[in-house]
Amino acid sequence: MNVIITATDLAHELSGERPPVLLDVRWQLSTAKAAGAPAFDGRAEYAAGHIPGAVFVDLDRELAGVPGASGRHPLPDLGEFGAAMRRAGVFADRPVVVYDGGQGWAAARAWWLLRWTGHPDVRVLDGGLPSWAGELSTQVPDPAEGDFRPAPSATGRLDADEAAALARTGVLLDARAGERYRGEVEPIDRVGGHIPGALSAPTTENVGPDGRFLPAAELRDRFKALGVAEDAETGVYCGSGVSGAHEVLALAVAGIPAALYVGSWSEWSSDPNRPVAVGADPQ
């Protein structure tokens, strides 16, 4: 099943008899708040114009729990997540399409969370809102209450210990920028570096200049070069489980299943007892 959709195909489906539920998840990582500047406000962006029929979903409040020892974007309470999805009109038997402002990270987090909790048909708008050539709307829809109830999968998610083990027995990819992996800079978390044994694989290299994913064959070649074989158990982490979801999505485009360490570096690095590797060497 496809995990991404083009803007052209989305426009066609939205004009059909059974259009997909459309979720706007505009968000971006920002350190502006710490610097005293206004943080990015996805809800304001949504109010200024969104794809007609789209419902806004707040990543920080509805796709993540309260920041703490489990990371900056830990799993949300699944009861609260399910209620948020039902308010947004998500039905278990109706397709869902999610989009963001173009980076793809926030949309991928929504995609991963819905898929991991049992929704069978979720896709990401490839290229996000910038790829949409149609009109935008400022009208806020009032969708019918959905019926989706989260039922988490036994697979597809890693905790800290499982991520550490996978770095030794399989392939654990670090989706952050290379300089953060190497520990040269760390603008957000307690310390820089990476989980010992993890491989640097910035998710920004999975897309082209237009923000759209590279063709599936190119992605397969990229991941193969990183050591991701068909029979290799694969996991991904990032800073807080957002850009890592985008890499899991890229792997899915390539036809490769992968699990997400949701707590990611923000959880791992918060514990001074956990080992930290620095430099380009995985170990």
Active-site residues, by number, are: 238
Paired with 33 in beta bridges are none
Q: What is the DSSP letter of 76?
A: P
Strands (E), the chain: 4-5, 21-24, 55-56, 96-99, 122-125, 157-158, 171-174, 199-200, 234-237, 259-261
Which helix (H) or strand (E) covers residue 275, if one does? none
Q: How far apart are CA 208 and CA 218, in angstroms?
A: 11
Can you tell me whether residue 68 is helix, strand or coil? strand
Eight-class DSSP state of 210: T
Strand 21-24 and strand 96-99: the pairing is parallel
Q: Judging by beta carbons within 10 Å of its beta carbon (0-12, 13-18, 19+), is residue 105 exposed, middle or buried? A: buried
